[in-house]
Structure 1
Amino acid sequence: MAKPALSMKPTGWFQVAWSAEIETGQIHRMKYFGHDLVAWRGEDGAVTVMNAYCEHLGAHLGFGGRVEGDRIICPFHGWEWNQQGRNVCIPYQDRPNRGRRIPTFPAVERNESVYIWHDLEGRAPYFDMPDIFDAYDDGRSSADYYLAYPEGILHHERLELHPQYVMENGVDYAHFKFVHRAAHVPEFTRQEFDGPVAYADFEMLFGGTKESTVLTPNGAMVGGVQAINVGIGVGFAKFWGPDNMRTIVTVTPVDDETADIRSTVWLDRLPGDTSAHQPASLERRMRMANNQYLADLNIWRHQRYTDPPALATAEGKGFSAIRRWAMQFYPLGEPGSASMPELQTAGTDAGPEVPENEAVRSSAALD
């Protein structure tokens, strides 16, 4: 794949695992943002994500290393490192090496997943990673849904795609008809920005014609999607109407050319069912949900970032605003951080302009 037109080192929260993949006392190997990493869970339950190599002589902690209490121990010479990456014991010396530290990432667990904060400039997190069940003001909580792991997860590794492809899906109302076989192009009802978070809502008709809008048990039903982008690495979606599931799609760069993409789906509980995991009767429903994601993935994995894109007039405002908003996540000097060229449309009308002060709040205002 040609080098992406956008930096593969954006700032923000990025998923690196599902929580269940990192058991207490175990070491989980992975590679993200060009670094070999390990994640491990201490006896206190906290997850640590750090560089994979011991600062002593460079042994990989994920091959033969072990976890004891709140420390990870190197397999080569037994040096012990704590959850902050500091050396706390050299077994053949009476004091540790206080001058060396293994680089660690800020890490949080939300919604059965592990996220790390990545920032090329080394800044601490300047926005929180929210909970998908707190992000929507509808009175529902995680107790109203089955656990997502392991029935509701998909993981595709090292694909040639960029996080922004998925993020821009949040304003692409027209694709529902052609990718997801919706009967009609949905109505784009909301686009708002609050610093590092972007909101987009769609309304559509399920199970009927445009004229058949009477809501009956067997007739058409109005429903929709409420999308929330948390930076450019995490996309929430709440579905309402005939289905009330919630989903998270995340894209995490592995290196300068590839990324991992994950999908997590929570199905709402059947009345009276208190089981932690979904029953077998919902397997078809989960398969249908996954098929919608896979249909998008088939586009994203073969997509090329077009800048400027040729947009229909009605698309101009949404794409212009979200691309301006996204610029805040690319460090200065990295592709994507410079001023965006004027967006082009398919016709001669450039469409409505979006004032920059309404479309984006700069990252400087968030520090």
Structure 2
Amino acid sequence: MSSIQPIPMKFRVPEVAFPKGWYCVADVHEVSADKLKPVSYLNQQLIVYRTQSGAAQVADAYCPHLGAHLASHDGCIADGAIVCPFHKWKWDGAQGHCTDIPYAGIPQSRSLKLTLYPTREVDGMVLMWYHPQGAAPDFEPYASTALQRDKWVLFDTRVWTSTSPYRDIFENLFDTAHIVQLHGASKMPVMRSMDSKPHGLFVDYQIDPDAEQFSIKNLEVHFTGVTALNQLFEGRGWATNFVISATPIDNESFLQTIRLYVKDLGSREINEQIGKPWLERFTFEVEQDFKVLNYKKHLTQPKLCGGDGPIYQYREYAQQYYV
């Protein structure tokens, strides 16, 4: 365990700012049509639920009337309407407008509205759109074609609360030197290209099968902005797909979640043989990273040298998401 005490973020980043993008606020299986799920992300209190049509939706947790938390006491969703626990005002879960004030006898009002956020369901995640100035989405999240095409099994999920500077969590993947120096890999990974895509970024890796614990023949990495990541590993007769999200809780910490999907090979035992070592290795390396990242400072002008990897190229890409 480190002897370093937690270091406030104001001493470690030039500014505390959440980038625009699609943030995971729940996993798909956690959200239902008969219950409001309260969550706390991006310095906000939110509720996640399903509308009457079955679509996942994220909304502000506070009633616009007098500020009651909609998931407190007996606040609920019934027949697609969110019922406030305080005065029993009803809000349409899909459109947000007020549908009933039981003691006022007024018709539905399109002007009285609950704040809703654009919401998507992608690769087992419920994603909400965040923009610091409230602008509408200007890109869509990446959806794995592999997960849509083949039969996969969600092998397991791991969750960490991190105090790393948010800018550094995915930048860390472009620091190729630490792959050898911290994680003990035999060779540095080589990125052949970094290509802009509508959803964000595609990274093409040069694969050296002899340099890996697992014999990999293909690696595809797709970023959704700077908030989520999809890593597809393919070998001879097997494949794994990591779906990774990073969502700020507040100015001091964020939640990182990895979901490991294994291409279904027909039996639980065989899937276990593939999934278990991948999960163990990934978990070990993430926890190694956090032992450093949770205390590091984000340097705006780091003193880089040859072999450090395309850190500045990633920063140039990432900057477009900071408004």
Q: TM-score range by the shorter chain?
A: 0.7 to 0.9
Equivalent in 302, 310, 317 of residue 295 of structure 2: 302
- Is the strand fraction higher in 1 or 2? 2
Shift of 1:267: 1.3
Counterpart mapping for 1:200-219 below 5 A: 200-207=203-210
1:153 is matched with which residue: 157, 166, 169? Answer: 157
Residue ranges of structure 1 left out of the alignment (5+ in a row): 135-139, 210-218, 332-367
Contact 1:163 1:233 in 2 (8 A): no
Q: d(CA) in 2 for partners of 1:193 and 1:48?
A: 29
2:23 maps to 1:14: yes
Deviation at 1:69, TM superposition (A): 1.4
The verdict on how the C-alpha distance between 1:279 and 1:91 changes in structure 2, with shifts beyond 3 A counting, is: farther
Contact 2:185–2:211 at 8 Å: present in 1 too?
A: no
How much does 1:293 deviate? 3.3
For residues 126-275 of structure 1, what are the structure 2 equivalents within 5 Å? Answer: 126-132=138-144, 134=145, 140-142=146-148, 144-148=150-154, 151-157=155-161, 159-194=162-197, 197-207=200-210, 221=215, 223=217, 225-241=219-235, 244-270=239-265, 272-273=266-267
For the Cα contact (< 8 Å) 1:80–1:89, is it kept in 2? Answer: yes
Whole-Å separation in 1 of the counterparts to 2:81 and 2:211: 59
CA distance in 1, matches of 2:292, 2:51: 40
Deviation at 1:283, TM superposition (A): 5.7
Correspondence for 1:215: none
List aligned pairs for 1:53-68, cutoff 5 A.
Answer: 53-63=62-72, 64-68=74-78
1:315-353 Cα shifts (integer Å, max 9, x gaps): 46x22222112111111xxxxxxxxxxxxxxxxxxxxxx
- Which position in structure 1 is the counterpart of 2:322? 330
Structure 2 counterpart SS, 1:56: coil
Q: CA deviation at 1:208?
A: 6.4
2:80 to 70, 85, 105: 70
CA distance in 2, matches of 1:192, 1:55: 43
1:87 CA drift (Å):
0.8
Counting matched residue pairs gives: 309
Identity of aligned residues (%): 23
Equivalent residue number for residue 109 of structure 1: 121
Read off the aligned partner of 1:80 and give its amino acid letter. Answer: K
CA distance in 2, matches of 1:2, 1:264: 27
Query: What's the CA shift for 1:20?
Result: 0.8
2: distance between equivalents of 1:278 and 1:124? 45
Q: Which amino acid aligns with 2:150?
A: D
- Distance in 2 (alpha carbons) for counterparts of 1:32 and 1:9: 11
5 Å-filtered alignment, 1:14-53, equals 14-53=23-62
Match of 1:137? none
Q: Deviations over 1:269-309 (max 9, x none)?
A: 22x34x7x985555633333433333334333233212211
What is the alpha-carbon distance in structure 1 between the residues aligned to residue 270 and residue 261 of structure 2?
9
Deviation of 1:234 after TM superposition, in Å, equals: 0.9
Match of 1:350 in 2: none
SS in 2 for 1:310: coil
Among 305, 309, 312, the alignment partner of 1:320 is 312
Residue pair 2:97, 2:110 contacting (<8 A) in 1 also = yes
Compute the TM-score of the two structures, normalised by the length of structure 2. 0.85
- SS across alignment from 1:245: strand
User: Cα gap change, 1:59/1:313 in structure 2, threshold over 3 Å: closer, same or farther?
Assistant: same
**How much has 1:224 moved relative to structure 2?**
5.5
Return the offset for 1:62: 1.1
Q: Would you say the 8 A contact 2:9–2:251 is kept in 1? A: no
Aligned to 1:335: none
Higher relative contact order (CA 8 A, sep 6+): 2
Going from structure 1 to structure 2, the CA distance change for 1:238 and 1:37 (only over 3 Å counts) comes to same
Q: 1:147 to 1:94 in 2, by over 3 A?
A: farther
Q: Runs of at least 4 residues of structure 1 off by over 6 A? A: none
Partner amino acid, structure 2, of 1:29: P
CA distance in 1, matches of 2:320, 2:77: 38
Instruction: Please state whether the residue corresponding to 1:228 is helix, strand or coil.
Output: strand
